Amino acid sequence: MHGFLNLRKPRGITSHDAVDAVRVILGGNAGHGGTLDPIAEGVLPMGLGHATRFLGWLRHDKEYEALMRLGVTSDTLDVTGTLTGPGPVDSTPDQVRAAGATLVGEVNLPVPAYSAVHVGGKRLYESAREAAASGEDPAAPPVRPMRVFSIEVIEFATPQVRFRISCAGGTYVRSVIAEWGRLLGTGAVMERLVRTRAGSLSLEESVDLESLRRLAAAGRAAEGLVPAARALAHLPEAKLDDAAAARLLHGQSVPDPRRHAVPASAGSATAAPENPNVPVRLTIPGGRMIGIGRLDAGTLFPLRTLPPGESLP
């Protein structure tokens, strides 16, 4: 089976575990387009079969609903680690909102010590576990720029804060929470995290593993797939005739078809992407996708394509 899947990952398993489960259910290759921690649940974009070639072109902005607990700190920055506290929490709702507002924008924060970031040839969580086992202090995790688009406090019931956050890829909500707690002077850890959106894929439209099993058992697994036009809705579309498609699939360029390229936000079928180097979805009659191309100086070049005769819904 080839296509994109909007999987609802359950809490308590890794993203790799979720991929393995989908491989077993559908009996084919699969990969994910954005890691979720085991404690987290929600939207996990996946590519099946040939669609794994295009995971790098998915939108990387995310939205989450999170539960933060004030008055506690943790080596993992969440409730699964070694907790220190609890301590006093006397923050007011206004103080909580004001501190959160300072984290909107680009902020430089340490990545979690227990994360999959590579440093010195090792993942940080491997180094952290080795240090814990030997009684040594773990190495300081690197500081990286993270971009937060918005933070909205939904509910504050001491010591818990439920909030919604929209952010760019590479932003660790655990790191944002730890800094939020530091600003309040109370410390804070992540208690729950639900990814409600990844790019154009929403939680409401996701399919869980049990539903996918039922669809597969009934021979209807294709009903769980997300059309490429939905998963890659942010990319303009280059509609190709059969001759142009054949040339691109064999690594050749074709004249600029931008009179047929439609930005996702445009309503006109003759609109063209403003950026001449923007990637475009290559589609054939019927709307099926055969690859990703690049428009440059009046010519369309293939970037990554499917084998001749193959296409994605």
Q: Do 21 and 30 contact (CB within 8 A), yes or no?
A: no
- Of 51, 71, 86, the residue nearest 225 (C-alpha): 51
Instruction: 89-97: list long-range contacts, CB under 8 Å, 24+ apart.
Output: 89/158, 89/159, 89/186, 91/158, 91/184, 91/186, 93/153, 93/156, 95/184, 96/153, 96/156, 96/161, 96/184, 97/153
Q: Which of 17, 20, 37, 242 is catalytic?
A: 37
Residue 266's Cα: distance from chain center in Å?
25
Tell me if residue 78 is catalytic. Answer: no
DSSP letter string, 214-250 = HHHHTT-GGGGEEPHHHHTTTS-EEE--HHHHHHHHT
Catalytic machinery residues: 37
